[in-house]
Amino acid sequence: MSADDYPAVSDPALLSPEESLDDDELGDIDAGYAPPDRPLGSTAWGITERELGSHEDLAHRLAREEPEPADMDTDGLGDTTDTDGELIDDQVGDRRAGRLTAWEAELDSRSDFWAHDVGIDNGAASAEEAAVHVVPDTDERDG
């Protein structure tokens, strides 16, 4: 007996290729293209030959501009999602320190933690120095 002598058996659990593809498995070409409801750009400035050779006046250019989306949920600088969003921390202080120099030329390792503020140097501080603020003593904070 040969293979041709047996009838073809189809497995009922197998789907045909038309039924086996889900919508999310289709490629971009298979999914097709849906054109927009109206033509885009056909009414914009600079499409015709005459418009390309001339300049659009300022009033029409300003009328075409779209405003930036405003964020109405925020109240300004320092807004974050996981903190209170304040720019000034009352535990750190709001006075900016100036140019920092070594307190004394000592060989004591504890002197590395102390610096002397010589004043703001006309805005020439680095970002790290600009981030340093004067911390008031506990007596100054309470009174």
The per-residue pLDDT for range 10-66, each reduced to its tens digit, is 667 777 766 666 656 666 666 677 777 877 777 788 888 888 888 888 998 888 888
Whole-angstrom distance, CA of residue 119 vs CA of residue 104: 17
User: Of 98, 143, 95, whose CA–CA distance to 117 is shortest?
Assistant: 98
pLDDT one-digit tens code per residue, 56-104: 889 988 888 887 776 556 655 666 666 665 565 666 767 777 777 776 6
Q: Are 110 and 93 in contact (CB under 8 A)?
A: no
pLDDT attached to residue 99: 77
More confident residue, 130 or 103: 130
Name the strand (E) or helix (H) holding 53. helix 49-53
The type of residue at 8 is: A
> What local confidence, expressed as pLDDT, does residue 87 receive?
62
pLDDT at 133: 76
- Residue in 121, 126, 127, 120 with CA at minimum distance from that of residue 97: 120
Q: In which band, very low, low, confident or very high, does the pLDDT at 7 lie, cut at 50, 70 and 90?
A: low
What pLDDT is attached to residue 47? Answer: 83
pTM: 0.29
Output 125 or 86, whichever has higher pLDDT.
125
Q: What is the pLDDT of residue 123?
A: 63
How many Å apart are CA 125 and CA 143, to the nearest integer?
31
